[in-house]
């Protein structure tokens, strides 16, 4: 599937987003929130998969304020070093404001039917959580978000559903952090949480060191059902 590029307008300038369109529009949209490797093939493939399922999929370049056009992998030490440098320089609060601009622009486009969800992975998993608490996205999904335990109080703001996938052996979200998240959020009426025993961070990243096909498929099936319910 050939993707397109969309320019997202903000008061500070414009930034790009990868767009995969479904066969029929207008359609519900899903904003795909990147890992720390930028808008790379993994993210573009995720967009293409959602487009094949009938969604307008958009993956914004959230590192644009630091370095536009980041497209690296998890396959070398040098790329990991760069990825962590980008993550450390990234302002997640500004990132959510940029995501809000994406949601507003996509929702108003002719290709969107007005429904907009978001799904994020790793850094994007944290951003999916804060997108749920700080924007009017209709439904959000967080895959192994890093740092959510520091922001659980924001769940008071939730007006729309949130689905969370937590890897029980996540090296970046240790057990005490998971316990804080579960204690604070597991009984929230807008939140659905699934944990995955034995899984490490990024268990759903195809080609990644910790990829686990069965649990990746299980998490995706739950995500598909969630989006069908709330965006369909």
- pLDDT digit string (tens) for 120-168? 999 999 999 999 999 999 999 999 999 999 999 999 999 999 999 999 9
Q: 10 to each of 65, 98, 99, 117, 145, how far by Cα in Å?
A: 12, 7, 10, 20, 26
Give the active site residues. 170, 201
- pLDDT digit string (tens) for 90-127? 999 999 999 999 999 999 999 999 999 999 999 999 99
- pLDDT digit string (tens) for 40-54? 999 999 999 999 999
Task: Give domain 4-231's CATH superfamily.
Answer: Alpha/Beta hydrolase fold, catalytic domain (3.40.50.1820)
Asked if the model's pLDDT at residue 175 lies above 70, the reply is: yes
Please answer whether residues 56 and 22 qualify as being in contact, where contact means their C-beta atoms are separated by less than 8 angstroms.
Answer: yes
Closest CA to 38 of 84, 69, 79, 76: 69
The dihedral region occupied by 41, where left means phi > 0, alpha psi between -120 and 50, and beta the remainder, is: alpha
Question: How far apart (Å, rounded) are the C-alpha atoms in residues 142 and 20?
Answer: 20
Q: What percent of the chain has pLDDT over 90?
A: 95
Edge-to-edge strand ranges of the sheet holding 56-60: 4-10, 13-20, 56-60, 27-33, 112-121, 139-143, 162-167, 191-196
| Average pLDDT for the chain | 96
CB count in 10 Å sphere of residue 94: 13
Question: How far apart (Å, rounded) are the C-alpha atoms in residues 185 and 153?
Answer: 9
For the entire predicted model, the pTM comes to 0.96
Asked if the model's pLDDT at residue 10 lies above 70, the reply is: yes
Asked if the model's pLDDT at residue 216 lies above 70, the reply is: yes
CB count in 10 Å sphere of residue 220: 17
């Amino acid at each position: 599937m050939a993707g397109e590029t969309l320019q997202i307008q903000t008061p500070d300038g414009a930034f790009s987003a990868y767009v995969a369109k479904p066969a029929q529009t207008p359609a519900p949209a899903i904003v795909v929130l990147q890992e720390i490797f930028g808008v790379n093939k993994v993210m573009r493939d995720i967009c293409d998969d959602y487009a094949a399922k009938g969604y307008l999929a958009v993956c914004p370049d959230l590192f644009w304020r630091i370095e536009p056009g980041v497209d690296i992998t998890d396959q070398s030490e040098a790329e990991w070093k760069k990825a962590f440098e980008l993550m450390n320089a990234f302002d997640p609060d500004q990132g959510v404001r940029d995501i809000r601009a994406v949601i507003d622009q996509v929702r108003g486009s002719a290709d969107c039917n007005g429904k907009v969800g978001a799904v994020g992975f790793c850094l994007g998993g944290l951003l999916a959580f804060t997108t749920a608490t700080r924007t009017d996205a209709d439904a959000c999904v967080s895959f192994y978000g890093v740092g959510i335990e520091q922001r659980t109080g924001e769940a008071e703001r939730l007006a729309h559903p949130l689905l969370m996938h937590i890897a029980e052996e996540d090296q970046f979200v240790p057990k005490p952090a998971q316990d804080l998240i579960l204690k604070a959020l597991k009984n929230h009426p807008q939140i659905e949480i699934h944990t995955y025993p034995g899984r490490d961070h990024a268990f759903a990243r195809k080609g990644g060191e910790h990829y686990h096909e069965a649990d990746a498929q299980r998490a995706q099936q739950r995500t598909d059902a969630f989006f069908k319910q709330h965006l369909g």
